[in-house]
Amino acid sequence: MLKLPGLIDPHVHVREPGQTHKEDWDTATQSALAGGVTMILAMPNTKPPIFDAATLDLALDAAKNKARCDYGQFLGAGPDNADIAASLSGKTAGLKMYLDSTFGELRLDDMTLWRPHFQNFPKDMPLVVHSESRSMAAAILFAALHDRPVHIAHISLKEEVLLIKAAKEKGIKVTCEVCPHHLFLTADSPLPEGEGLGVRVNGRREVRPRLAAQTDVDALWENLDVIDCFATDHAPHTLTEKDSENPPPGFPGLETLLPLLLTAVDLRRLTLDDLIQKSVINPRKIFHLPEQPETWIEVDENAEYEIKASEQFTRCGWTPFEGWKVKGKVRKVVLRGKTAFEDGRILVEQGYGRNVRNLES
Ligand SMILES: [Zn+2]
């Protein structure tokens, strides 16, 4: 049995408030624990989006009542909430800026809208951007101009990882994360198809950023030292929605993160040290997260099995990795002294999770 620290996932879509038929604070945190993740940071593109004191309280109240693992909540950057965001920063995981379109309503089209956020949001609090390709270059320039750290969410392209590498070499304070689906899937990977709905597109492929080419995936693996964190971008939607005429982008990922990474460790594509560095140590540093005392996970590193959505805790009921053979299974999760998960069962109640901004560091 392999003993590891509890993992931190800095990019999770909990879907509460507003879309609890996809997921909520209860099922998302069960999914996290089953995946060996003891701390999640939740994204703000809910319904309503989290962008002021009232909506932040809405999310934090739900989390306080329902979360089973520890959590933080991002605030979304809007066209006119830079002052409010800065004043609320201490209660948040950080600020999330959507510079390219994705699921939800939070998008800042115009660069004049970025400036007040880069200027006002406290430099010692995390600022995360969804920025792809050329808007990523612009975001990195903003970080340099305002001399503040910026964290780039879910990089997926060769040009992106090479740009971040160059920016780091120049001393710009940029960090980044990569998602398992961008490391293990390409635009050509066979994925489960929608069944008999006569749909024009395979909605189960839809994700932002899109799945990329093999050359991009290869570049991510070749430049793993440039990548600071693994993050799932756990973005659950139901199968009915994914197979509809207008499929929303997003994959669930909390329960497949660790088995996929451990399988890569087994294949010597990654070291166990890398895994811990990018799933625990770096996210703790980048997002200023407290240590979780008496917290660890136990993994059977020799257990070989197939990934099955039917065995997962996420409410969305599917996974793009259905049927994948993996090696490494989470047996037990201990969170702050209490066994939270063991052999397929969740053992802590709703409300056991703590807001990371209230935990002692
Ligand atoms: Zn996301």
pLDDT tens for each residue of the chain, 361 residues long: 999 999 999 999 999 999 999 999 999 999 999 999 999 999 999 999 999 999 999 999 999 999 999 999 999 999 999 999 999 999 999 999 999 876 666 678 889 999 999 999 999 999 999 999 999 999 999 999 999 999 999 999 999 999 999 999 999 999 999 999 999 999 998 877 665 555 556 889 999 999 999 999 999 999 999 999 999 999 999 999 998 989 999 999 999 999 999 999 999 999 999 999 999 999 999 999 999 999 999 999 999 999 999 999 999 999 999 999 999 999 999 999 999 999 999 999 999 999 999 876 4
Q: How far is residue 352 CA from its own chain's centroid?
A: 21
CA of 11 to the centre of ligand 1 (A): 6
CA of 234 to the centre of ligand 1 (A): 7
CA of 233 to the centre of ligand 1 (A): 5
User: CA nearest 301: which of 335, 331, 337, 345?
Assistant: 331
CA of 36 to the centre of ligand 1 (A): 20
CA of 352 to the centre of ligand 1 (A): 25
CA of 359 to the centre of ligand 1 (A): 25
pLDDT reported for residue 359 = 79
Question: By the 8 A CB rule, do 182 and 219 touch?
Answer: no
pLDDT reported for residue 157 = 98
Copy the structure tokens of residue 24.
């909520």
CA of 337 to the centre of ligand 1 (A): 31
CA of 303 to the centre of ligand 1 (A): 30
CA of 13 to the centre of ligand 1 (A): 6
Tell me the residue type at 220: L
Say how far apart CA 331 and CA 344 lie, in whole Å: 7
Bond before 48 cis per omega within 30 degrees: yes
CA of 142 to the centre of ligand 1 (A): 21
CA of 43 to the centre of ligand 1 (A): 7
CA of 72 to the centre of ligand 1 (A): 15
CA of 302 to the centre of ligand 1 (A): 31
Is the alpha carbon torsion for 34, 36, 41, 43 positive or negative? negative
Q: At what angle do helices 158-169 and 134-145 cross, to 10 degrees?
A: 20
User: CA nearest 328: which of 274, 280, 257, 231?
Assistant: 257
CA of 106 to the centre of ligand 1 (A): 12
CA of 180 to the centre of ligand 1 (A): 13
pLDDT reported for residue 87 = 98
User: CA nearest 233: which of 262, 201, 263, 211?
Assistant: 211
Which residue has tokens 């971040």? 164
pLDDT reported for residue 100 = 83
Stated length of the chain: 361
CA of 209 to the centre of ligand 1 (A): 9
Bond before 209 cis per omega within 30 degrees: yes
pLDDT reported for residue 361 = 47
